[in-house]
C-alpha cells in the first residue's frame, strides 16, 4: 500500500492520475494506492485494480483519454482497500470483478489489519468479485491471453499476478514494490518467505524483456525483480540467524540488517518497521 503517509489515506482532492504507456495497448495509471494496469482495445477496457472510491471519476477521466470503450473487467490482485476501493462503483457501472477466492472471502467480512490497527468493514455486494479462481485463470480479451495466477501467501493470502502474454507485461500487485520495502500483512497471511517464493515464481514465468508493473513504485523490469528477490533473501537470512540466536526484536533492529539497501528504498515504508515485521513473522514459526 502507499497512502500519503504510512498507514493513512491520502487527500483525494489533491491526487492527480498519471498515465504511462507500457506497451502498445497496455498502460499504467498512478494516483494514490496501488498502480492500475490497463488493457485497451476493440473489446473494451480491462483493469488490474481500481485504487480508492473517491478517485473513481478521476480514473474514469484518465481512461477516457486512452479509450472510448467501457470498462468490462476489473481483476483485483489482492483484497487491500487501496486496490479494491473502486470495486463498488466499477461493478455498478457494469464491470465484472475477478479475483482469487480468498479476495472474495476477505472482502465479504470485516477485516482487521493489525499493523495499522485498521478495521475494514465488509464490502457491499456490488464490490465483491463475481468470478473467482483457485489457482489461475485466463481471460481472452483485446487480443491478449490475460493470465492471472495465485501465489502462496506473500503480501497477503489473496495475492495474484496478472500477465498480459502478447504484450509481455506483468502486473505483480503488492508482492513487488519497486520503490520501497514490501508490507507483509501478517494478519492477512503474509510472510517474507512467501514473497521470496513469489519472486522465484515470477522469474520462472516471464521472459527476460518482460515489463513489470509493480503494486507501487515506478515501472520496472525483470532485473528489478531479481534484485528485489536477492535483497529480500539477504535481509531475511540476516534476521533469521539472529532469531535463531535468541536475539530480541530491539537487538535485531539495532543491528541494521537493511543498511546497505536503505538508500534505494525511499518509499513510505520505514526500514525499522520492515525489520520488525520480518522478526515477528520468523519468530512465530
Parse the chain into domains and list their residue ranges: 12-230
Q: What is the pLDDT of residue 96?
A: 99
Question: Which residues are 29's β-sheet partners?
Answer: 19, 36
Q: Is the pTM of this model over 0.85?
A: yes
- Only one residue has cell 518482460, namely 210
Beta strands (DSSP E) in 142-251 are: 144-150, 160-164, 169-171, 211-213, 220-221
Q: What is the pLDDT of residue 3?
A: 40
| Residue pLDDT, tens place only, 233-252 | 999 999 999 999 999 999 99
Burial per residue of 24-36, b for 16 or more beta-carbon CB atoms within 10 angstroms, e otherwise = ebbbbbbbbbbbb
Read off the C-alpha cell for 55.
478517485
Q: What is the pLDDT of residue 2?
A: 39
Spatial separation of the C-alpha atoms in residues 7 and 27, rounded to whole Å: 27
Tally of CB atoms within 10 A around 54: 17
CATH topology of domain 12-230: Metallo-beta-lactamase; Chain A (3.60.15)
CA 105 from chain centre, in angstroms, equals 18
CA 218, 222, 224, 225 dihedral sign is: positive
Q: What is the pLDDT of residue 182?
A: 94
Q: What is the pLDDT of residue 4?
A: 41
* Residue ranges of the chain with per-residue pLDDT less than 70: 1-8, 267-269, 285
**Sequence-separated (6 or more) residues with CB below 8 Å from residue 98:** 73, 74, 75, 76, 129, 130, 131, 132, 133, 137, 139, 148
Read off the C-alpha cell for 254.
539495532
The CA-based angle 19-104-98, given to 5 degrees, is 45
Amino acid at each position: 500500500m502507499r497512502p500519503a503517509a504510512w498507514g493513512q489515506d491520502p487527500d483525494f482532492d489533491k491526487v492527480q492520475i498519471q498515465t504511462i504507456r507500457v506497451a502498445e495497448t497496455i498502460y499504467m495509471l498512478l494516483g494514490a494506492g496501488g498502480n492500475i494496469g490497463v488493457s485497451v482495445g476493440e473489446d473494451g477496457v480491462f483493469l488490474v485494480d481500481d485504487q480508492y472510491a473517491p478517485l473513481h471519476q478521476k480514473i474514469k477521466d484518465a481512461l477516457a483519454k486512452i479509450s472510448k470503450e467501457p470498462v468490462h473487467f476489473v481483476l483485483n490482485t489482492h483484497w487491500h482497500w487501496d486496490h479494491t476501493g473502486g470495486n463498488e462503483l466499477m461493478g455498478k457501472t457494469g464491470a465484472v470483478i475477478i479475483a482469487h477466492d480468498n479476495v472474495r472471502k476477505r472482502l465479504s467480512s470485516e477485516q482487521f489489519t493489525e499493523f495499522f490497527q485498521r478495521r475494514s468493514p465488509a464490502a457491499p455486494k456490488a464490490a465483491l468479485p463475481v468470478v473467482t479462481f483457485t489457482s489461475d485463470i485466463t481471460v481472452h480479451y483485446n487480443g491478449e491471453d490475460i493470465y492471472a495466477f495465485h501465489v502462496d501467501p506473500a503480501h497477503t493470502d489473496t495475492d495474484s499476478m496478472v500477465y498480459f502474454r502478447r504484450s509481455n507485461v506483468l502486473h505483480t500487485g503488492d508482492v513487488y514494490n519497486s520503490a520501497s520495502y514490501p508490507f507483509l500483512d501478517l494478519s492477512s497471511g503474509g510472510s517474507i518467505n512467501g514473497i521470496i517464493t513469489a519472486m522465484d515464481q515470477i522469474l520462472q514465468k516471464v521472459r527476460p524483456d518482460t515489463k513489470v508493473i509493480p503494486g507501487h513504485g515506478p515501472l520496472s523490469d525483470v532485473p528489478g525483480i531479481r534484485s528485489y528477490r536477492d535483497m529480500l533473501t539477504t535481509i531475511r537470512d540476516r534476521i533469521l540467524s539472529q532469531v535463531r540466536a535468541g536475539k530480541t526484536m530491539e537487538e535485531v533492529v539495532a543491528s541494521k540488517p537493511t543498511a546497505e539497501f536503505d538508500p534505494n528504498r525511499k518509499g513510505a515504508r520505514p526500514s525499522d518497521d520492515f525489520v520488525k515485521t520480518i522478526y515477528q513473522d520468523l519468530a512465530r514459526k
